[in-house]
Structure 1
Amino acid sequence: MRLNRYIAQAGVCSRREADVMIGAGVVSVNNKVITTLGFKVDPTKDLVRVEGDTIRPETMRYVLVNKPKNFLGIENDPSGRRSVGDLIKNACKERIYPVDRIEKESTGLILFTNDGELAKRLNHPKVGLRELYHITLAKKANPEDLEKMLEGFVLDEGFVKAKEVAFVKNDPHDIGMEIHSNRSRIVRRMWEHLGHKVIKVDRVVYGPLTKKDLPRGHWRHLTKEELNMLRMTT
């Protein structure tokens, strides 16, 4: 295993940042300072220290959750409010974090992991991960609303637009919308910008992941195939 990957899997920093630390001479292997990029270590035998502290790589965990309404989309809340962390407390012994945020009022897929490098790549603006939402509105939308979503408009966060948008089963209260954005609350804000009160926002697709066979309030670990597909998107 490359030394920079070992450091990243120990949760110290990203691989790129690990290369900087190696070049700075603050990383040692078996009590010998290593400054060579690409240096390889044996995780079962070698003793790795960063700035004098011994580190060990964690097992990478990837937990997909179908978040219920009125749960905070975080690992825990200091004030004791219900969070997704309460639902996945027995998923693994490692501490895992949400890749992105889903507002308290919204539901649907949220990915938790301790793989900081993958999380960073998934959130990079250039990646534009595909997300599909089911939105329920208080009043009927019209075809002009859908056209505006496809054309895009400017919010405080900048220019936003839908990749695809359509009525669900021809019901103008129910909208299916695909976006490629990692900005929190953007779906709700887009519809509010057009004068609509949003009743429900449910994320049903996140990249290659879907909530098929994952009931509300439940979680599961990603399969190797799903993880490989997720990595390919970045």
Structure 2
Amino acid sequence: MSKTKGGQGRTQRLDKVLSHIGFGSRSELRKLAKQGLITVNGTVVKDSGAHVDPYADKIEVAGEAVHYREHIYLMMNKPPGVLSATEDKRDRTVLDLLEERYAVFEPFPVGRLDKDTVGLLLLTNDGKLAHELLSPRKHVPKTYEAVVEGDVGPEDVAAFAEGVELDDGYVTLPAQLVILGRERGKQVISRISLTITEGKFHQVKRMFQAVGKKVIFLKRVSMGNLALDESLPEGACRELTKAELALLGAEI
């Protein structure tokens, strides 16, 4: 077992390493160790409190190789009807949708989507990255597609480019509004794309409310340079690829 300390070579307790990535509770791991089912660099280790280097040592549990990582980065296609929260006493949250292999890392949503809003949601246990993406000073762009009751026109595009005053008096930063199409019937329905660089409460809905229109469907399609994987079913999630992590500036 490695004795290296500092950086990624820092040693940790074996049971802490294994419990962090879902191989069982510390008491369960203690039993596995006593049964001789845990090896480190080919040697049986019966003390689950032994120190190992999870990045350098070859660890196996019951013959299964352990691939350690401290952080997890997930892309979810959030469905309607669930909260972007870690827990709630009444409603399901996005964490309730996670498989156990992801849930053990205790990720949290990066920012929030309204209960009825769908689309791209990042979940991670990397607090540094979350802070970078959510910091108001970073002005990370977020793009939404929406269906809006009302005839969205050039005057709205110009108003959003200037910034609109919300119901509480706050004037938004300039936003890029693109009209994708309209359906004319008893009432005009507009399809739009909107890119904003801040994240006020219900901001997209309130921006359209400020110009006399109502959002009836809202989907986030990108955050920064990361775009939603449209092949991901609603409610499903997957780990980000190395290329996608690079787009976010994550250090891996």
Under a length normalisation based on structure 1, what TM-score does the superposition of the two structures give?
0.70
2:201 is aligned with 1:188: no
**Is the 1:107–1:201 Cα contact (8 Å) retained in structure 2?**
yes
Q: Distance in 1 between matches of 2:208 and 2:52?
A: 50
> Partner residue of 1:218?
236
2:214 is aligned with 1:197: yes
Q: Distance in 1 between matches of 2:169 and 2:150?
A: 25
> Partner residue of 1:60?
71
Q: Deviations over 1:73-102 (max 9, x none)?
A: 1233223x1221121143512101011011
2:119 is aligned with 1:108: yes
Distance 1:229 1:71, change over 3 A: same
**Is the 1:88–1:219 Cα contact (8 Å) retained in structure 2?**
yes
* Gapped regions of structure 1 (runs ≥ 5): 11-41, 46-56
Q: Equivalences for 1:45-124 in 2 at 5 Å?
A: 59-79=70-90, 81-92=91-102, 93-124=104-135
Matched residue SS, 1:153? coil
Which of 158, 168, 173 does residue 190 from structure 2 map onto? 173
2:210 is aligned with 1:207: no
Structure 1 or 2, whichever has the larger Rg, is 2
- Give the RMSD, CA atoms, in angstroms: 2.7
**Is the 2:151–2:182 Cα contact (8 Å) retained in structure 1?**
no
Distance 1:44 1:125, change over 3 A: same
Report the Cα offset of residue 170 of structure 1.
Answer: 5.6
* Gapped regions of structure 2 (runs ≥ 5): 1-5, 17-50, 55-67, 184-188
Q: Distance in 2 between matches of 1:66 and 1:184?
A: 20
Aligned residue identity for 1:164: Q
Which of 53, 64, 71 does residue 44 from structure 1 map onto? 53
**Is the 1:162–1:178 Cα contact (8 Å) retained in structure 2?**
no
Q: Distance in 2 between matches of 1:188 and 1:109?
A: 17
Q: Distance in 1 between matches of 2:169 and 2:197?
A: 14
Q: Deviations over 1:125-144 (max 9, x none)?
A: 12111111001112222221
Q: Distance in 2 between matches of 1:223 and 1:88?
A: 18
Q: Distance in 1 between matches of 2:246 and 2:201?
A: 25
Matched residue SS, 2:234? coil
Report the Cα offset of residue 151 of structure 1.
Answer: 1.1
**Bigger mean CA deviation after superposition, 145-154 or 166-175:** 166-175
Number of matched pairs: 185
% of aligned pairs identical?
31
Report the Cα offset of residue 231 of structure 1.
Answer: 1.4
**Is the 1:101–1:184 Cα contact (8 Å) retained in structure 2?**
no
